[in-house]
Structure 1
């Protein structure tokens, strides 16, 4: 059915496909929400500082 080099190529393909799948799962469930949450917190801090500056002025 397969020769040895075809078998190794197929295993390499499956390995790369699996790594890509788990990387996408990791990015979508942890990294992107963390990034969005951090940017929202920073924006809220900036808005609070602007309000404080307006009150003092």
Structure 2
């Protein structure tokens, strides 16, 4: 973390992996849990739009 913008360079050209852990279901779902799922989905869709193979 350099506190500066850096160019994104994947380890394998045109391939990106996303690891999104599951939600610990201790109680009823709430909006904070939904936010995490939406954030990962938006990132996934954006990377696909840029032409990356996302796994």
What is the TM-score normalised by the length of structure 1?
0.39
Q: Which has the larger radius of gyration?
A: 1
Judging by fraction of residues, say which structure has more strand: 2
Larger RCO, structures 1/2 (Cα 8 Å, 6+ apart): 2
**What is the TM-score with the length of structure 2 in the denominator?**
0.40
